[in-house]
Amino acid sequence: MESRESRRKFIWYVAGGFASISTYAPSIWEQVSSPLASNLADGIQALKPGQYLWAPMVAPSGSVLAVISLTSQRVYVYRNGVLIGAATASTGKPGHQTPTGVFTVLQKQVHHKSNLYDSAPMPYMQRLTWSGVAMHAGNLPGYPASHGCIRMPLVFAKLLYGTTERGMTVVITDLDAVPRLAPTPDLLQSEAATKAEDAGGAIWEPQKSLSGPVSVILSAPDHRLVVLRNGILIGSAPVTIAGAVSETTAYSLSKVDPQGFHWLQLPLPGQSWEGNRELPASERARVTMPDAFRKALDGVLTPGVTLVVTADSLLASSTGKTLTVLESEP
């Protein structure tokens, strides 16, 4: 019979070798032993340039979300809301700062060379903007040194590449602050948005992207919910929100059962708590939308779907702080 220890045992792969870690705690944030530190959070911060942790078996399936902290120069990878990996990174140097905000993976290439910087190799490239920002393997000196891209350890970049799909959500934060969001000018001013107005404010066009990761973005100032699949806009609807939304929060759909949809909040840099934090029914009830649109949306919601709630406008022409662009394919 399988022992309790073996049932709870997993491997954290570390660059240059691996460490076998036994744990009796259900949370991956708790460890009995580690070659780096007494707990996982400290272990991630103690990683040296080029090192990484990787434990995909703690969440074998589901949608993936990457969170990049410019301050700590770390990449965090969640699957189905569970942390499955972390790595050191090197982001944009002064004058070439990496933009912050919420992105989707637009393009993937195993072998890619820069179109801007002397054909520099960018192995396992995952493009975030058409203006040249991407995640890829590269040199890691221990400080920001790129021209705006997010460099990662080679093996980690390969592992991440094999785990992700086009359309995956990527959150980039600065100064341990919660990220802001400002998509491309045409996201809410596109043909689809015009049709939405003609249709009474809502549109549902799932045929524009039949497969791929689903991301849902709720903008409090715009009173609008946007649905992306594989990074492509497939739905948009007006919503009514009771009360205020003061910060950006991210959630992953953990399960769907007779009681409804269960959303777990993901701890973005600058946010922390112990245990799981599920979005309560009272909070979900604060948001109302057209019944037909909600029914259509429910049909594409599966465990692992990402929800980002933002206090920023999706309209590029709006006033306020806009730090990045959520780009779609031109």
> How, if at all, do strands 249-257 and 224-229 pair?
unpaired
**Residue 136 among the catalytic residues:** yes
Which residues are CB-neighbours of 205 under 8 A, at least 6 positions away?
Answer: 192, 233, 234, 235
| 149 counts as catalytic | yes
The answer as to whether 137 is a domain residue is yes
Q: Any idea which of 14-28, 77-91, 154-168 has the lowest mean pLDDT? A: 14-28
Cα 77 to Cα 160: distance, rounded to the nearest angstrom: 8
If asked whether residues 77 and 137 sit together in one domain, one would say yes
212 and 146 in a single domain? The answer is no
Domain of residue 11, residue span: 4-173
Neighbours of 73 (CB within 10 A): 22
Query: Are 79 and 26 members of one domain?
Result: yes
For the record, the structure tokens of 255 come out as: 């399960």
Looking at the chain, the number of H-run helices and the number of E-run strands are 6, 21
Segment among 67-81, 111-125, 245-259 with least mean pLDDT: 111-125
The reported pLDDT for the residue numbered 85 is 87
Helical segments of 82-198, H only: 154-163, 191-198
pLDDT at 31 over 80: no
Higher pLDDT, 72 or 329: 72
Identify whether 183 is part of a domain. Answer: no
- Residue that wins the pLDDT comparison between 205 and 26: 205
Q: Is the pLDDT of residue 183 over 80?
A: no
Does 296 fall in a domain?
yes
End-to-end CA distance of the chain: 56
226 falls in which pLDDT band (50, 70, 90)?
confident
Q: Are residues 237 and 297 in the same domain?
A: yes
- The CB density around residue 199, as the number of other CB atoms within 10 Å, is 14
Q: What is the pLDDT of residue 17?
A: 35
Query: Measured between alpha carbons, how far is 80 from 93 in angstroms, rounded to an integer?
Result: 32
CATH of the domain at 222: 2.40.440
* Cβ proximity of 249 and 263 under 8 Å: no
| 90 and 225 in a common domain | no
232-238 and 203-204 as β-strands: parallel, antiparallel, unpaired?
antiparallel
Question: Which residue out of 111, 112, 147, 149 is catalytically annotated?
Answer: 149
Residue 181 lies in a domain: no
Provide the pLDDT confidence category of residue 284 given band limits of 50, 70 and 90: confident
| Together in a domain, 20 and 148 | yes
**In this structure, are 169 and 196 located in the same domain?**
no
Query: Mean per-residue pLDDT for 132-139?
Result: 91
Q: Percent of the chain at pLDDT above 90?
A: 22
Average pLDDT over residues 209-219: 84
Q: Among residues 136, 147, 223, 262, which one is catalytic? A: 136
Specify whether 199 is located in the same domain as 137. Answer: no
SS3 content of the chain, % helix, strand, coil (to 5): 15, 35, 55
Q: Does the pLDDT at position 181 exceed 50? A: no
Number of domains, the chain: 2
- Flag whether pLDDT at 165 surpasses 70: yes
Q: Is the Cβ–Cβ distance between 181 and 268 less than 8 Å?
A: no
Is there a single domain that holds both residue 20 and residue 70? yes
Bridge partners of 253?
Answer: 263
CA torsion, points 143, 117, 133, 83, in degrees to nearest 10?
A: -50
Specify the pLDDT at position 185: 41
Sole residue written with tokens 């979900």: 284
Q: Count CB-CB contacts under 10 A for residue 273.
A: 8
Do residues 22 and 8 lie in contact, with contact meaning Cβ atoms separated by under 8 Å? yes
